[in-house]
Amino acid sequence: MLTLPSDSIRQIQWRFAERYDLQMLVQSARGVARGTVAHMVASGERNSHEWTPAKNEMLEAFDRAGITAAFMEPEEGGFISGPKNLALALAAFELAWVDGGAATASLAGFLALAPIHERGTPEQSRHYKSLSAPPQIGEERKPWRGAFVLTEPIPYVGVDTGMLNGKARIADWRDGEEPWLQVEKRGRFITNIAFANFVTAAVASDDPRIKGSCVIILEETDEGTFDHGTPTKKLVHQLSSTGDPIFNLKVPASRIVGGYTVKDGVLVPNFNHSEVIEAVFRRTRVTVGLMTAAKLLSAVEPVIRYQRGRFRGAEGAKPGTVRYEQGIQQREDALHRLVDVWATGEAAASLGFAAARIFDELDPIEKQKTGILSERGVGSGRAELKALRESEQRAIEFLRMREQDARRAEFAADPLVQFVLKDAEANVLCPATKLWNTGNGANVMREAVSLMGGYGITEDCPGFLASKWMDAQLEATYEGPEAVQRRQLTITMTSDVFLAEFRAWTAEMRTIAATHPGTGACTLATAMRMWLWTLEHLQKATDAAGHKLYHGQRQGVTFPLVDALCWLLASRYQILDVLELEQRGSTDPSVADAAMGTAQFLSDLCHVQSARAAGEVSRICAELVFGYNEHPSWSDQACTTCCFSTDELEELEETMPGIAAMAIDVLKPNGSHPPKAGPCAGCKGAGDFLQLQNKLCTCLSGSRLAKDRAADTVSKVMIPEALDYPL
Ligand SMILES: Cc1cc2nc3c(=O)[nH]c(=O)nc-3n(C[C@H](O)[C@H](O)[C@H](O)COP(=O)(O)OP(=O)(O)OC[C@H]3O[C@@H](n4cnc5c(N)ncnc54)[C@H](O)[C@@H]3O)c2cc1C
């Protein structure tokens, strides 16, 4: 690989080489990010909590660049028709490459509209999206800005979105007329609030004439109080606005997102607040995960430049000397650590873009599924789950079919089977992207910062790395922190359909390993087997006190298993992207040469990452498999199975010479034993696990050679003279 991966290469890897509209969006978002946004950061605009004129101009730059309109359908003022998950993810990736707050400022507007887009009535959707679209040429109008208001002052909504304090009551309901509602809501940490013209707020009923909860649209000009609140004193994402607003407003019931019906004199929202929020976060959390991926990859170029130039200007470092040309890159550790940062960034981007794409694929299939089920008279909720059970069985059967099975085409064409498959994958990929990219990404960003030495923790650090490190922590927190993603994955990763997919993916990695051993696919396949073995073991096993290990409340068991899965998933999608690059790149003469060299390097990064993932999985699984057993003591039953007596050993020596030298836990005739707390623990019931672990260790063969190769490439790859944005 001679140069850093080009746009053409990324377009192939992340599968938008045929999407000219998305390529244009990337270019225009990049222009704003590396122009307007980068200048704002460089000139200290992050130093204020206030919403400043410069920050406001940034929103206008988003509008001009088409970023705001990327959310809308063409008839609403947008330019992309159909699903837009990948589009929004790419735009956020470009903005977060320079500044996470800028990316959030654009995403928060979409987040405000998302409840209306996902669950709103067609009229609500058209109305608010058209108002929020930037004006067309010749149109004199300011676009509306929105905020999404879920989180409330402590002790209410945070991670637990069920504890709502925001309330709605009937203010006025005249016969035959639309009811009016009095809505009270206080928000905490609400993005975009300084300038929001409307908000979508989650509230619960405080009136027997309203059922349950809902999300409701509140406008700045509604009767009552729309207090934007004071700015939050954030340490992160300062280019976005955040504050604690207060609302007490009278609004018509038609503002309930998704509408309502009236049953026996009670107003019943068509969707409760949880249903709306679930549909929203399911998609928007992917984009947040991609923001951290962008940060990691954006660190590569500044770190290389810093490392190479580190000693230039010193007396002993004359041009042409290794010290001058390579600087810190003479040192293996510096290169290896950068390889780790780069590999994490690649894996995070691959996982995130795969998640964004699957939602683009899922959106039309989901509509098809809803159509088919409503034709059959099946409602939503439990009835739908029941109706899809047969399709789940068919999906599992489909995954197990051989290539030549005559029924494959029929199953592949069944929209319900396809829905069930994609839904199971999406239900895992979204929280996995949010959890792994941001949580692990924040840790790895620290590594990136450390590679710049003292410079790394100054405002002058090229690439704004220290800000990105801190910003990554917010990405791990908002839209639901890590516990929320782990809780969700605990459920979705154990669905029968997902586990069948996971088995198929394990086999797929073995097949890939046959032709592409350099990707580390074989290591990954073994680690995937170990994860599955551990899950199945823990689902049956109990702890030393006889208590069940795998259940929702036992986060000490379920959460680490979730983390282990995320490592595996990130590695899998990273490998798949490199294969795509190799296959598609080789057939495109315009990129063939660069694609092959880059694919080789990225393949080495896959190997590095899969070895790391395997290590994490092995560590986590071993702790869970053995950690809940009581350590044996000399007094208990363990002695009868684990220990030898001196007499026994003497007898055994006759048939097995040398055994006495191997025996560790030997009881002497007087009952004394070695000076330890108890005999060493055995591996009863976990022999298969140890075999797998053994295999996994040997599967790591070659992974460090791959790291050496990758490090060598990093030390030679050409980078531009200067970063293409200030600093
Ligand atoms: C800059 C910023 C912008 C934001 N923008 C918005 C916005 O636009 N709209 C909006 O509605 N909200 C917004 N938020 C709020 C954000 O979504 C919440 O802060 C976040 O969901 C976490 O909630 P919390 O702060 O109450 O944390 P807590 O709930 O107090 O969590 C604290 C810790 O406890 C852990 N924890 C909590 N519950 C559990 C559990 N059941 N099991 C295990 N561990 C648990 C968490 O993982 C976390 O580590 C924003 C926040 C910030 C900081």
Q: Please state, as a whole number, how many other Cβ atoms lie within 10 Å of the Cβ of residue 19.
A: 16
pLDDT of residue 379: 81
Pocket test for ligand 1, best of 233, 478, 486, 491 (most atoms within 8 A of CB): 478
**Residue closest to 357 by CA, chosen among 408, 299, 429:** 429
**Residue closest to 532 by CA, chosen among 520, 544, 524, 542:** 524
Q: Please state, as a whole number, how many other Cβ atoms lie within 10 Å of the Cβ of residue 572.
A: 27
Average pLDDT, whole number, for the chain? Answer: 95
Residue nearest atom 23 of ligand 1, based on CA coordinates: 158
pLDDT tens-digit readout, 700-722: 999 999 999 999 999 999 999 88
Average pLDDT over residues 110-119: 96
| Whole-Å CA distances, 300 to 38, 436, 441, 476, 722 | 17, 19, 14, 21, 13
| Whole-Å CA distances, 636 to 175, 639, 641, 673 | 78, 6, 10, 13
Report the separation in Å between the CA atom of 164 and the middle of ligand 1, taken as the mean of its atom positions. Answer: 14
Q: Is the pLDDT reported for residue 564 higher than 80?
A: yes
Whole-prediction pTM value?
Answer: 0.96
Residue 320 · residue 692 · CB < 8 Å: no
Q: Which atom of ligand 1 is nearest to the CA of 236?
A: 1
Name the one residue in this structure whose structure tokens are 């009767």: 223
Contacts of 415 (CB under 8 A, 6+ apart): 365, 368, 369, 372
Residue 48, amino acid: S
Residue 128 · residue 453 · CB < 8 Å: no
With cut-offs at 50, 70 and 90, classify the pLDDT of residue 727: low
Q: Which atom of ligand 1 is nearest to the CA of 237?
A: 1
* Backbone dihedral angles phi then psi of residue 246, each to the nearest 5 degrees: -130, 130
Q: Is 562 in the pocket of ligand 1 (CB under 6 A)?
A: no
Q: Is 280 in the pocket of ligand 1 (CB under 6 A)?
A: no
Strand partners, 201: 149, 216
pLDDT of residue 347: 98
| Whole-Å CA distances, 466 to 42, 249, 472 | 13, 41, 10
What percentage of the chain carries pLDDT values higher than 70? 100
* DSSP-assigned letters across all residues of 201-266: EEEEE-STTB-SEEEEEEETTSEEEEE--PBP--SS-TTS-EE--EEEEEEEGGGBTT-EEEETTE
Residue 352 · residue 291 · CB < 8 Å: no
* DSSP-assigned letters across all residues of 257-291: TT-EEEETTEEEESS-HHHHHHHHHHHHHHHHHHH
pLDDT of residue 581: 97
pLDDT tens-digit readout, 335-358: 999 999 999 999 999 999 999 999
pLDDT tens-digit readout, 583-621: 999 998 889 989 999 999 999 999 999 999 999 999 999
pLDDT tens-digit readout, 230-279: 999 999 999 999 999 999 999 999 999 999 999 999 999 999 999 999 99
Cα–Cα–Cα angle for 722, 724, 727, rounded to 5 degrees: 70
Name the one residue in this structure whose structure tokens are 């837009």: 84
Q: Is 28 in the pocket of ligand 1 (CB under 6 A)?
A: no
With cut-offs at 50, 70 and 90, classify the pLDDT of residue 464: very high
Residue nearest atom 47 of ligand 1, based on CA coordinates: 483
Q: Is 234 in the pocket of ligand 1 (CB under 6 A)?
A: yes
Residue nearest atom 40 of ligand 1, based on CA coordinates: 483
